[in-house]
Amino acid sequence: MSTITPPRAPHGDLPTGHKPADRVGGGLFDPGALVRSLPDALRKLDPRVMVKSPVMFVVLVGSVVTTLLALKDPTDWFGWAITAWLWLTTIFANLAEAVAEGRGKAQADTLRKAKTDSVARRLTKDGTGEEQVPGTDLRIGDLVVCEAGDVIPGDGDVVEGVASVDESAITGESAPVIRESGGDRSAVTGGTKVLSDRIVVKITTKPGETFIDRMIALVEGAARQKTPNEIALNILLASLTIVFLLAVVTLQPFAIYAGAEQSMIVLAALLVCLIPTTIGALLSAIGIAGMDRLVQRNVLAMSGRAVEAAGDVSTLLLDKTGTITLGNRQASEFVPAEGVTEAELADAAQLSSLADETPEGRSIVVLAKEKYGLRERHQGELAQAEWIGFTAQTRMSGVDVDGRKTRKGAAGSVTAWVRERGGHVAEDAELLTRRISEAGGTPLLVAVEDGRGARILGVVHLKDVVKDGMRERFEELRRMGIRTVMITGDNPLTAKAIAEEAGVDDFLAEATPEDKMALIKREQAGGKLVAMTGDGTNDAPALAQADVGVAMNTGTSAAKEAGNMVDLDSNPTKLIEIVEIGKQLLITRGALTTFSIANDVAKYFAIIPAMFAVAHPGLDRLNIMGLHSPQSAILSAVVFNALVIIALVPLALKGVRYRPTSADTMLRRNLAVYGLGGLVAPFIGIKLIDLVISLIPGIG
């Protein structure tokens, strides 16, 4: 069982729940961003690029056709106006995607600045000396030495030593982190800087394939693949485009028969206004923005599929240690045996823990100081004392001083120590030990041997401390329809107690890598999407199997390679935020699709009456907006169709706000807000544009 690292605040890293500001700068509708993205938008007019979006490709073709027709009659202001706004519609669509991509490219530029051509101190093959080589000459398996002030030349794992490392080049945070050998905080990234001490790093990647190189490629979004849902939506949009294309093509014969033949410019305007151009223009921007929102929270998604899968997750696997609990067991109370005071037990427990440098041992010292006012003594004050350090064999620690021996450790070990010295183990000590174990805690017995013989003073109750607010977060997930499962290596009794306190739906105790894999496969066999976090090598198989595998940046290289997301802050609880971002992406796409399709109703009432009102005056009754003239009505619809794309760019980039609720409630809210809004907004917008056009001399 891997131990997922706790939130990094104790080491000066990012605290839990930290959400870094958008480092790209600029608002969601920054005019400067629009200007900077304009050249990219113009380059995207290449038909080979546009054909990937069938809806906007039709608009491009319509723009070309109307341009050719307008050239035949240079004095036709209406034809030129329609042509200009069709081209603007196409450019605005490309601009929305270019702005979204630009935010990622700005992040990539920041990362490039962090890359330097470093010189590495590589250990010789015999390990007796060092040689200086360019960082580009390093190969997988090479051992390099890094000391204070050195830049780590490549990605790797610490195999010797411990050091403080500045990872601001990656995370954007200046607070240092601790990297050490032999644990889940062994991974280091090329381009980061060692601030103190000395470490030996084993290189795990080739030059040009480092983590920071992959980050640059990922955040640029240039190779972003479309997700299955996005492909399905594209097929729907393409189908609607074909339907409306056939409708417009067959409309002309009917118009000729009715004596109201339409120009090709008007038919092109009708087609562009009826096909779902709004969502077609914003679809790519929505997907890119979803990945960008993860980058803003220091999470890198290896593909758009991973972000979308997060939105459909129905089962969440969370490691207990570091995710649900604080990561280390903490002393919560001193329970004395019969005839012993709490103060006496606390004093002995503190004394026996002075040589115990584990987090549990330190928590005992702190509890005795805070709860009983015992001053923390230091080993230097007990110069004549013989300190007994904790070992895996003895499972005890303690001190011998002034003829008194004090021991603290596992129940079995301390009990055996007392009996070896002829002492008696009271029944209440065994009862207290059993009661704490059944409650999910860890009992540590404290015993002494002095002039009164060997005896047990009582029990220190260690417990996993559930993080504040976890029960509320799990309740939110339950409302989202997500089942939470806690994974732990603890025994079933301890696991059950923690699970009940935290409020998770289920738990897997004494979990092995094989158990995790089996659980994920069972959930997936039932048609569910599974997300999990991990940081250890033994988490790698499960991370690879999960639909959303979030690896911690502090974890091993194997874990980062296996996952399809990497959390640069190494905050396991961020998985909950990732799920919310995924859902926000899906909701945004659905909301803007609803808005786009609802738009067509108003455009229909604007254009159709204008097309046939001259030949059939009775159709003028359908001109419910009271538009000024047939030409201004058609032009107003085309202008609104273009402007609404730019107006919705901020919403596409920011995303529709997500609230944990049922699918039915979400659907009703989207229909009420975006369906009704998409129906009403064009009536108002087209009427206002018509009023402006009617005031232009020579046009109105």
Q: How far apart are CA 519 and CA 695, in angstroms?
A: 69
Q: Is 360 annotated as a binding residue?
A: yes
Q: Is 81 annotated as a binding residue?
A: no
Q: Is 600 a catalytic residue?
A: no
Q: Which helix (H) or strand (E) holds 65?
A: helix 54-72
- Residue 629: CA count within 13 A, CB half-sphere: 12
Q: Is 406 annotated as a binding residue?
A: no
Dihedral sign of CA atoms 617, 618, 621, 625 in order: negative
The Cβ of residue 665 has, within 10 Å, a number of other Cβ atoms equal to 11
Q: Is 356 annotated as a binding residue?
A: yes
Q: Is 196 annotated as a binding residue?
A: no
**Annotated active-site residue in 157, 292, 319, 569:** 319
Q: How far apart are CA 353 and CA 361, in angstroms?
A: 5
Residue length of the chain: 700
Q: How far apart are CA 437 and CA 496, in angstroms?
A: 11
Q: How far apart are CA 547 and CA 525, in angstroms?
A: 12
Query: Do 80 and 266 touch, CB atoms closer than 8 A?
Result: no
Q: Is 647 annotated as a binding residue?
A: no
Query: Do 145 and 121 touch, CB atoms closer than 8 A?
Result: yes
DSSP states along 573-594:
THHHHHHHHHHHHHHHHHHHHH
Q: Is 392 annotated as a binding residue?
A: yes
Dihedral sign of CA atoms 653, 656, 661, 664 in order: negative
Torsion angle, alpha carbons of 571, 105, 237, 310, to 10:
-10
Query: Do 265 and 77 touch, CB atoms closer than 8 A?
Result: no
- Structure tokens, 133: 């080589």
DSSP states along 77-132:
HHHHHHHHHHHHHHHHHHHHHHHHHHHHHHHHHHHHHH----EEEEEPTTSS-EEE
Q: Is 397 annotated as a binding residue?
A: yes
Q: How far apart are CA 474 and CA 503, in angstroms?
A: 7
Q: Is 330 annotated as a binding residue?
A: no
Query: Do 495 and 507 touch, CB atoms closer than 8 A?
Result: yes
Q: How far apart are CA 474 and CA 500, in angstroms?
A: 12
**Identity at 643, one-letter amino acid code:** L
Q: Is 285 annotated as a binding residue?
A: no
* Annotated binding-site positions for ATP: 356, 360, 390-397, 408
Where is the binding site for Mg(2+), in residues?
535, 539
Annotated binding site: 356, 360, 390-397, 408, 535, 539
> Active-site positions?
319
